[in-house]
Structure 1
Amino acid sequence: MSTKFNFIKTVLSLHDEMVSNGFSLVYEGEFSHNIMKMFTSMAEQNMEKSNEDRTIRRRVFHVMVECLQNMTKHSDEYDDEDRIGNGMFIVGKSEEHWNIITANKILKDRIDELKQSIDEINSLSKDELKALYKKQIRQGTLSDKGGAGLGLIDIARKTGERLDYQFLPLDDNESYFFLLKVRIRTK
């Protein structure tokens, strides 16, 4: 069997997988400001074409921007000079949810802090999330990468859903692949 034919089979398999999971956008690589603008524009056009409710469109757009900014700022594959992070970004829709999935490299020594933060966010009620958000605004300090710790809190507030996450070890034993899945209800 030729390499060309195997490549075509791989592409068709990937396409079938995307369709079966409702993925309309999959990207892996660098995340510059221009690429982020392109994704949000494409997703917005896609939602308009499918006659998605305006409130849902705004919510999906807001969560997409937060997820992309988090990945751009906090990926451990980051170019300080160009302010570009690397990772993977997926947008899809099932019957009842929009799904936004991000994945990026994170160093092993940052996992516990991130896990603790997400677990705390997932344990809070709507009112507790609001209070934590206000507290972060008042007391939060900027990290080395310019974050104030508001992104994940804001995503949880906007969606009303748990933040699903997973850490998968990479070959070097010093870094992990951080996967974050955010669901936005459509009904």
Structure 2
Amino acid sequence: MKYIYELHKTMVSRKLMLVYEGEFTQEITKSVLSMAERNMDSIGEESGIKRKVFNVMVECLQNIVKHADEFSAVVDMRNSAIFMIGKENDDYVITSGNPIKGDKVDLLRNKLDEINSLDKEGLKALYKEIIKNGDLSDKGGAGLGFVDMARKSGQKLEYDFEPLENNVFFFSLKTTISRKALD
């Protein structure tokens, strides 16, 4: 039972407002969004910040749901993913993680590196280009969600790929949204 207290201490020390680990469905996604929104309402967060946080949360959760069906029995974790939102000083930190197939790692890394190399105007231009050229996959891809997350946060997207087994990697993504006014 001590692990519950240790988990609680970790959540408090890292100022985590919400953590969910497990299978993600549209219904669970709606519940997670609703809980996070209530939490921000309870602390009196301003609507502009809530809107940015909510937008990034939606993109993270949609990414998890879109890719959850690819892992029936490939790894022990199956459809297991994680989503967290916390506050650090004047920032909201949204972190997600989910398994992805190894053949997607280079493409995803290249997209994220391209997005992280752009300034505000470059992100705007890339967003318009993706919309215009419609390079969208059947899962909605093309990186539009990542571009939108970078635009809303005004920060670089942090990511990592942890090797699992059977050419599967655990993709972690961290987005930081400042509560201070962005230029």
TM-score, length basis structure 1:
0.88
Further displaced range: 111-120 or 173-182: 173-182
Shift in CA distance, 89/72, structure 1 to aligned 2, threshold 3 Å:
same
Amino-acid identity (%): 51
Q: 2:59 — aligned with what?
A: 66
Q: 1:3 — aligned with what?
A: none
1:67-108: CA deviations, max 9, x gaps?
1011111346457xxxxx641111111111111110000111
Shift in CA distance, 142/86, structure 1 to aligned 2, threshold 3 Å:
farther
Shift in CA distance, 151/78, structure 1 to aligned 2, threshold 3 Å:
farther
Query: Deviation of residue 109 (structure 1)?
Result: 1.3
Task: Write out aligned runs for 1:100-179 (5 A).
Answer: 100-170=94-164, 172-179=165-172
Counterpart of 1:31 in 2: which secondary structure? coil
Aligned residue among 7, 30, 47 for 1:54: 47
Cα distance in structure 2, aligned partners of 1:126 and 1:78: 36
Aligned residue among 18, 41, 44 for 2:37: 44
Cα distance in structure 2, aligned partners of 1:33 and 1:71: 10
- Whether the 8 Å CA contact 1:89–1:103 is kept in 2: the answer is yes
Cα distance in structure 2, aligned partners of 1:163 and 1:124: 11
Shift in CA distance, 75/117, structure 1 to aligned 2, threshold 3 Å:
farther
Cα distance in structure 2, aligned partners of 1:114 and 1:146: 14
- Whether the 8 Å CA contact 2:94–2:176 is kept in 1: the answer is yes
One-letter amino acid matched to 1:156: A
Query: Deviation of residue 46 (structure 1)?
Result: 0.6
One-letter amino acid matched to 1:122: N
Cα distance in structure 1, aligned partners of 2:42 and 2:52: 17
Q: 2:174 — aligned with what?
A: 181
Cα distance in structure 2, aligned partners of 1:31 and 1:86: 8
Cα distance in structure 2, aligned partners of 1:76 and 1:131: 32
Cα distance in structure 2, aligned partners of 1:179 and 1:173: 18
Q: Which runs of 5+ in 1 are unaligned?
A: 1-7, 80-84
What's the RMSD between the two structures over aligned residues? Answer: 1.5
Q: Which runs of 5+ in 2 are unaligned?
A: 73-78
TM-score, length basis structure 2:
0.90
Structure whose alpha-carbon radius of gyration is higher: 1
Further displaced range: 90-99 or 114-123: 90-99
- Whether the 8 Å CA contact 2:24–2:68 is kept in 1: the answer is no
Shift in CA distance, 145/33, structure 1 to aligned 2, threshold 3 Å:
same
